[in-house]
Amino acid sequence: MPVALVLLLALSSVILINGRSYGIGNVCDLGRRPNERPHSVKITDFGAVGDGETLNTIAFQNAVFYLKSFADKGGAQLYVPPGRWLTGSFNLTSHLTLFLEKDAVILASQDPSHWQVADALPSYGRGIDLPGKRYMSLINGDTLHDVVVTGDNGTIDGQGLVWWDRFNSHSLEYSRPHLVEFVSSGNVIVSNLTFLNAPAYTIHSVYCSNLYIHRVTANTSPESPYTIGIVPDSSENVCIQDSSINMGYDAISLKSGWDEYGISYARPTANVQIRNVYLGAASGSSISFGSEMSGGISDIEVSDVHIHNSLSGIAFRTTNGRGGYIKEIDISNIHMVNIGTAFLANGSFGTHPDSGFDANAFPLVSHIRLHDIVGENISTAGYFFGTEESPFTSIFLSNISLSIKNSDSPADSWQCSYVDGSSESVVPEPCPELKSFDSSYGRAEAL
């Protein structure tokens, strides 16, 4: 193990001993470097044509199939030169680097017959948009190890407009595909790329560990229905940093499965660090937790985030029947501009996958710290609505200053029910449920 890595691991345990009750390692500081690949091939070697019209699915599939044979020889790179490379969905393989040159654009086919179809994920029991199967993502990694998707700011364009229309007009055959998805994979890097127009999610990692996403730009139109940027889902050790994401719905959403399916699959999202990102979320939230959180979400650290033009800034969503938990969340150094609701915690949010959910599976939302936050042009400071059966507990707010627009009565700017917590130096003054200052929670952990 390199000396620097040993030092970092040692440092992160010192931080743990010094007062944190939870163990967010320095996932971003491990500085994962992409492995050099001794072999490289070009997509044109497999007959691909970059004219924006020729369908290149077979070329991508054949290239990846060929490169499988290099897995035990140090891996290989698939190089995509400048051009517009139309394709349907294809799979990646282990020890592969997919590299998109500057001005290389991978364009997703808009014809559903060019997309593979897959079974629902076990932690969801059905597709997100519709019961039953789902389209596989444009670029898939299933049970892989050591994969890099990168470039010199090349582009992956999902051409999602047709999918958004099919969603809106209820004419989808299966749930919409994502742009890039990794399932049950480890040691994955996604970097130095621009992602446009995802049909649904832009980057989805599910049942994964050690995922490093940096220097990505991801955009969809503000009108696109329920499009989400990055979704760490039942995944652990995830770093997202130095990125810019502007989505129709949520920019970054942490999830872990849906009701009875997520509860029985029991795979949490844990140990996620989000740093130095610029986020916008037209009709959802720039950072959201849930609402699918039945496998649990914990040990999440979010810092140095700029949030703009979003319906809500930071959202916690769940509902009775979900089970699971959202806990040990630390959010700091946030700058918000032009936001509807800065903090929105809703314990009665979202629907159930089917009638088989357990109405007595109450979610736990606890130990959430929001601190060192400034907001400009905010409409509403915060809603914290737990439920009688599962109140939100130990919510800690500190050093928060929000300038509320058109506020005749800033007192209305917070609304709370079934929540308890504490606060210090918060403007405007929060609701009484969050006012008491509990030093045992606040100060000890503010280290």
CA–CA gap between residue 267 and residue 187 (Å, rounded): 18
Q: Residue 54 or 62: which CB sits closer to ligand NAG? A: 62
Q: Residue 238 or 270: which CB sits closer to ligand NAG? A: 238
Contact (Cβ atoms closer than 8 angstroms) between residue 181 and residue 206: yes
Quote the least distance from Cβ 13 to ligand NAG, whole Å.
25
Quote the least distance from Cβ 79 to ligand NAG, whole Å.
12
Q: Residue 317 or 367: which CB sits closer to ligand NAG? A: 317
Binding interface with ligand NAG (CB under 6 A)? 34, 61, 91, 116, 140, 142, 148, 150, 153, 155, 189, 191-192, 194, 215, 217, 333, 338-340, 344, 346, 348-349, 372-374, 377, 379, 383, 385, 399
User: What residues contact 62, with CB distance under 8 A and at least 6 apart?
Assistant: 46, 47
Quote the least distance from Cβ 10 to ligand NAG, whole Å.
25
Q: Residue 42 or 68: which CB sits closer to ligand NAG? A: 68
User: Interior CA angle at 62 toward 58 and 65, to 5°?
Assistant: 140
Quote the least distance from Cβ 216 to ligand NAG, whole Å.
9
Backbone dihedral angles phi then psi of residue 442, each to the nearest 5 degrees: -65, -65
Which region holds residue 153: left if phi is over 0, alpha if psi is between -120 and 50, else beta? left
Quote the least distance from Cβ 189 to ligand NAG, whole Å.
6
- The string of DSSP codes covering 326-383 is EEEEEEEEEEEEEEEEEEEEETT----SSTT--TT---EEEEEEEEEEEEEEEEEEEE
The residue to which tokens 């996620």 are assigned: 272
CA–CA gap between residue 331 and residue 252 (Å, rounded): 14
Run of H or E residues at 399: strand 392-404
Quote the least distance from Cβ 228 to ligand NAG, whole Å.
17
Q: End-to-end CA distance of the chain, in Å?
A: 30
Q: Residue 206 or 270: which CB sits closer to ligand NAG? A: 206
Quote the least distance from Cβ 217 to ligand NAG, whole Å.
5
User: What residues contact 375, with CB distance under 8 A and at least 6 apart?
Assistant: 313, 335, 336, 337, 339, 342, 381, 400, 401, 402, 403
Q: Residue 154 or 296: which CB sits closer to ligand NAG? A: 154
User: What residues contact 6, with CB distance under 8 A and at least 6 apart?
Assistant: none
Q: Residue 23 or 333: which CB sits closer to ligand NAG? A: 333
